[in-house]
A and B are shown apart, each in its own frame.
Chain A
Amino acid sequence: MRARTVLLPLWLAAEAVAQSPAAGRLDEVARIASVMVDGDVARRIQTPRSVAAMLDPKPVEPWAASDNYEVNHEAFLATKKTLLRLARLCDSPCDVNLWMPVASTPPRVQVVIRNVHEMSQFWPWGALQQEMPAEMKQVQAEGKRIIVRRTPGMTSVLAPVYDSLGDIAGLVEVAGRERPDPQENVQ
């Protein structure tokens, strides 16, 4: 019941936004991203040491996981470059962000690569990891792209990222604004 309540408005929003050319372009980029982003490489971005620190939070050390956040340069760079290339397909400034699930119950997620405009409808600034939003759960469960309009003036398209076994490894968020704000996120 709860899932239906959540999913119905999302579906309606997706339908409505899909009519706009801007959302259509973001959707097209997300479709390509779904093919181009390598889920196996994406899984290797965060180092095991960093993952361990993230999964073992200590209340007396609230910054420990952030201080120990570390990536494998090669995997990060390969994926980052793919995301930067994908963003060049957009007609106006957009970001292609990579999100990866965190091995936790209930399901959590972390943004693993963000990009130049720092646009996202899901990332609360500074969060290392967070509860997985319903829209991302839907993509994980169904393997379909969805269009999201949570923040006024902003559109995101979520698309699955696959590994070599055909499993969904993570998601991309292709995010754009109707009216870009040059001063936003310069901080």
Chain B
Amino acid sequence: MRFRQILLYSIALSAAAADVKLLPEHIRVDPFGAVVERDRGSGVEAARSITLEAPRAAYVSCRIVVSLPEGGAYRLDVKSPLAADLFREWYHFLPASKKYVPDALVPAQTPHEARMPQPDNRIEKQTVQSYWLDIWVPAEARPGRYQVAVAVESGGSASRAEVEVRVLDAVVPGDDAVVMDHNSYGTSWLAAQYPSLVQRLGSRFYLSDEFFGLIHAYHRILYEHRGVYHQLGYGHGGKVGPEFAPRLEGWGKTKRVSDWSLYDRHYGPLLDGSAFASTRRGARPIPFVYLPVNPEWPASYLWWGEPGYEREFVNVMKELEAHFRQKGWTRTNFELFFNHKKRYKAFDWDGDETRFPGDMPYFAEYARLMRLAFPSSSPVRWVFRADVSWQMERQFKELAGIINFWVCGGGMFGWYAENAAVLKQRGDIVWTYGGTPTVEEPASRMAVDALRCWMLGVDGFVRWQTVLPGRDPWFNLGGGGETIVYPGDRFGVEGPLPSVRLKLQRNMLQDLALLNSFQSRVPPATLRAGAAQRFNGTRVEDWRSPRPKLADSDPLGWSNLSIGEAESKDPRFDQALDAAAWGRVRGYILNLAKEVRP
């Protein structure tokens, strides 16, 4: 039965000579033409033509599937009246399932010359190569129909397909309904992922323009895909990377900033927006950035509880505020954020996911110190961020007026979701956090986190690790749950490559921004209900979890096991999701776009 199903999917793509067909963005195919297991069941088949409806100031995407059963050289050409970006999909081998799934996207120029099997992907008997096609519809594009011609030639045979882009009048807002954040730690991973650069630059790597260019490239790719990028610049013991903080000298009352040069090379283009000048979204300063502050910086923990701690902290932070103000870096939220945990043995309190009530007073003390350093009249914005889980309900109350940026454990926040409105009412920012769906999950899984935030009235979502694809992502991928981009080094690209998952996420965020913009004309509850029903047949209330009995007991008695048992396990959000789920929501949004003027 299963074999017959796979065969059926394969037949649609196979032909004797060179053949090209098109698939919607949410259907992935393997290098032999079969739809990957988790994307099956939608009834969609590859076809010679596809119609993509597109609001303006947005991308639309589809897959180009080239089939060459006998193998050999071929040439793929795309002719588009709108700006088009072509990417070859890399097939990652997953040793756990012994299957191939496309995810990394290698930029390809058109016309594109290639061979089947693709030599660098090293897949024996490969017969199919899929490509991701992005088409950018600028805000000023004229509504109407645009024809994109796709052709493949091999030897004497040729095959053609056509993408029709129907540009709508609607324009996707520049601001997202939900901020999708991508987190990472330090920069040492860059040296590991870009060995060619390290070999060329040697010991100069971390001081080179190429190094700072790499950092900016990661920000840029995520910004272009409607995301935000965070890089934490200090370790659990308080060591700060030299590119994440100004250099300090002296101690006690003489401690001060001695050198801004590396900090400014790193952050200057991000905080004034110039790092994004080349993007289609345009130059804009990053909205959030971690400060390098931790219990050991700028003041030494040696002086904690003594006058010297306050003096070192306040004096240096005053210099930071003055520097940011003089540079005009006033459109970014500078985050005071503590990531350390006592289990890592460097400090006696948990800054991250605080579990013990005795640790709460530390937050109040740091808020006091920051207020001494950053006057309330300063145009420089700072926020006090806390990533919370065990004690979040208690922290919402006890740290009111101290913490004003909450990043809450995504699963557990469902128990306390009514707090989103309460926190926002007092002016706080509310995000949730979690992981990154793996390549083995259905394409629509990429929509769940942002959609849940929107359903619950949450402002953003942090994917906690997004740049670590593992030791050998190309031929031995562990699933990709800690990455959403891949290093370009292997392909001679000094920067990250996007992934299929990143593209799916971007397209969904565009749609969500458009849907959110209808709130002035359509009751928000109606929009939410419409999206939930179409996505997975749920009601809005299904997107939060019922408060379990556990939530009324002391969190010190909780364990990961008891939390896991208390958390809601609704397969409609996971195993039962079908690949076309977001496509149905997009249809709903685009129909509204035709009816409703925001």
Contacts and interface: CB of A to CB of B under 8 A. Distances in A.
Interface of A: 60-61, 63-64, 66-71, 73, 76-77, 80-81, 84-85, 95, 111-118, 126, 128, 182-187
Contacts of A95: 237
Query: What interface size band does chain B fall in?
Result: 35 or more
A112 B241 CA distance: 24
22 contacts: A61-B560, A67-B343, A67-B560, A71-B342, A77-B304, A77-B348, A80-B348, A81-B301, A84-B301, A95-B237, A113-B346, A114-B237, A115-B346, A118-B239, A128-B343, A183-B191, A183-B241, A185-B236, A186-B185, A186-B235, A186-B244, A187-B185
B380 interface: no
Given A114-B344, A186-B186, 15 more contacts: A61-B559, A73-B349, A77-B305, A80-B301, A85-B302, A114-B346, A115-B237, A116-B237, A117-B239, A182-B241, A182-B242, A183-B187, A185-B235, A186-B233, A187-B186
Contacts of B240: 186
Contacts of B16: none
A186 B560 contact: no
A57 to B, nearest CB: 12
B19 interface: no
Interface in B329-360: 342-349, 355-356, 358
A186 B344 contact: no
A132 B302 CA distance: 29
B234 A186 contact: yes
A63 B559 CA distance: 8
A66 B343 contact: yes
A70 B559 CA distance: 15
Interface in B223-247: 232-242, 244
B561 A114 contact: no
A116 B296 contact: yes
Contacts of A70: 342, 356
B134 to A, nearest CB: 33
B476 interface: no
A119 B345 CA distance: 12
Contacts of A61: 559-561
Contacts of B236: 118, 185
A113 B304 CA distance: 16
Contacts of B186: 183, 186-187
A80 B295 CA distance: 12
A114 B345 contact: yes
Contacts of B187: 183, 186
Nearest to B297: A116
Contacts of A63: 559-560
A68 B191 CA distance: 35
B237 A118 contact: yes
A186 B348 contact: no
B300 interface: yes
A166 B296 CA distance: 33
A68 B206 CA distance: 38
Nearest to B262: A182
Contacts of A183: 186-188, 191, 206, 241
A67 B302 CA distance: 26
Contacts of A117: 237, 239
A76 B348 contact: yes
B188 A187 contact: yes
Contacts of B346: 113-116, 118
A115 B297 CA distance: 13
Contacts of B238: 116
The 9 closest A-B pairs by CB, nearest first: A186-B186, A186-B241, A76-B348, A187-B185, A84-B302, A69-B343, A187-B186, A118-B237, A183-B188
A122 B304 CA distance: 28
Contacts of B358: 73
A183 B27 CA distance: 41
Interface string B117-137: 000000000000000000000
A171 to B, nearest CB: 14
A147 B560 CA distance: 41
Given A182-B206, A186-B234, A71 B348 contact: yes
B296 to A, nearest CB: 5
A23 B347 CA distance: 27
A115 B347 CA distance: 9
A48 B192 CA distance: 42
Nearest to A95: B237
Contacts of A185: 235-237, 239
A108 to B, nearest CB: 15
| Residue of B234, B301, B348 with most chain A CB atoms under a 10 A cut-off | B348
Given A67-B560, A69-B342, A126-B344, A84 B239 contact: no
A37 to B, nearest CB: 15
Contacts of B349: 73
B561 A60 contact: yes
Contact of B345 (A60, A64, A67, A113): A113
Interface in B303-320: 304-305
A76 B234 CA distance: 22
A187 B235 contact: yes
A95 B236 CA distance: 14
Nearest to A80: B301
A68 B560 CA distance: 11
B414 to A, nearest CB: 20
B425 to A, nearest CB: 32
Interface string B260-303: 00000000000000000000000000000000000010001110
Contacts of A112: 345
A100 to B, nearest CB: 11
Contacts of A114: 237, 344-346
B295 to A, nearest CB: 10
Contacts of B239: 116-118, 185-186
Nearest to A110: B345
Contacts of A66: 343
A182 B188 CA distance: 9
B505 to A, nearest CB: 25
A162 B302 CA distance: 22
B366 to A, nearest CB: 16
A66 B345 CA distance: 11
Contacts of A187: 185-186, 188, 232, 235
Contacts of B234: 186
B92 to A, nearest CB: 25
| Residue of B301, B343, B560 with most chain A CB atoms under a 10 A cut-off | B343
Contacts of B345: 111-114
A112 B344 CA distance: 9
Contacts of B556: 68
Contacts of B347: 80
